[in-house]
Amino acid sequence: MPKAVRGLALACHPGPALVVTVIAAVLGASVGYPAARVALLAAAILAGQLSVGWSNDWIDAERDRSVARADKPIAVGLVSRGTVGAAAWVALAAALVLTVPLGVPALVAHAIALGSAWAYNAWLKRTVFSVVPYLVSFGILPAIVTLGSIDPTFPTWWVVTAGCLLGVAAHVTNVLPDLEQDRLTGIRGFAHVLGARVGGLVSFGALALVGIVIAVGAIGIGGLSGAAAVLVLAGSVITLMVAVAGVLLTLRGERSRWLMRLIMACAIVDVIALVAAGPVLSA
């Protein structure tokens, strides 16, 4: 594999990009998208996530070099900053163009989500409001899916709430391993104000609430029953167990990328629960 291609592949933040794409595709299938529409949705979301990952490394290139980030392709010379920046803009344009066939409401929702994520990369990550783009982008993801269906509808409030809470958990655990390096380069966002221990507790507390909100929303409010309700409950129980494990790891001083991986793995579990709750996802 050419060095620049490998650098681009690593600079796009492939793990989160793939997880978010899978979440969107699975949700699309759960609300009745035909196969071709699921593929279109997945392509649009993936392009958007590529743009977010590449713009992050493009904007942070000098800061990453200043602290010798060995995990950043631009900082170690695998790919040029200009190449990554160009890729980010191309991917952003592709994401919006690919969303057009899903309809204007879905396009507007996707544009808001991407604008929020790019605003985080460009500026908000340096402020106490750094959590806001995660609230917006994760919260609006289900709306991109339901508004992009053949019969557009808004998601229920509890689905959006679960997305927002998952965004909080993802944001904080993503930042925790970099607290010291961020401090050296003047970054002081929401997670930095909380600190490592409180931040970890907040993130896994938010994750626990995701499991509770999905169960209460789907079963208590949506009236889901039978095997689907059992699957939702199972997903919620797993989410709560992961949240407890995350709290214990936090109290032991864990601050590695494994905390974020726990959150992302649990996001897949929660999406499976939402698939079971498919009939009650829309308002």
Structural domains of the chain in order of their starting residue, each with its CATH number: 1-136 (1.10.357.140), 156-283 (1.20.120)
Which pLDDT does position 173 carry in this prediction?
92
3-state secondary structure of 282: strand
**pTM for the model:** 0.90
99, 107 Cβ separation under 8 angstroms: yes
Which pLDDT does position 230 carry in this prediction?
94
**Could you give the dihedral angle defined by the CA atoms of residues 77, 83, 88 and 89, in that order, rounded to the nearest 10 degrees?**
160
Selection from 97, 96, 73 nearest residue 85 by Cα: 73
Q: Which two tokens stand for residue 265?
A: 């793995």
177, 256 Cβ separation under 8 angstroms: yes
84, 58 Cβ separation under 8 angstroms: yes
Amino acid identity, position 195: G
Which pLDDT does position 229 carry in this prediction?
93
Per residue in 202-218, pLDDT (tens digit) is 999 999 999 999 999 99
Selection from 250, 161, 241 nearest residue 197 by Cα: 250
Residue 219 DSSP class: I
Q: How far apart are CA 68 and CA 135, in angstroms?
A: 30
Any idea what the Cα angle at residue 186 is, between residues 168 and 18, rounded to 5°?
A: 40
Cα separations in angstroms, 206 against 132, 166, 170, 171: 14, 7, 10, 11
Mean pLDDT of 20-45: 94
Q: How far apart are CA 225 and CA 277, in angstroms?
A: 9
| pLDDT tops 80 at residue 1 | no
Mean pLDDT of 107-114: 98
Q: Which two tokens stand for residue 274?
A: 């939402």
3-state secondary structure of 155: strand
> 94 CB contacts (<8 Å, ≥6 apart)?
47, 51
Which pLDDT does position 81 carry in this prediction?
95
Per residue in 34-82, pLDDT (tens digit) is 999 999 999 999 999 999 999 999 999 998 888 888 889 999 999 999 9
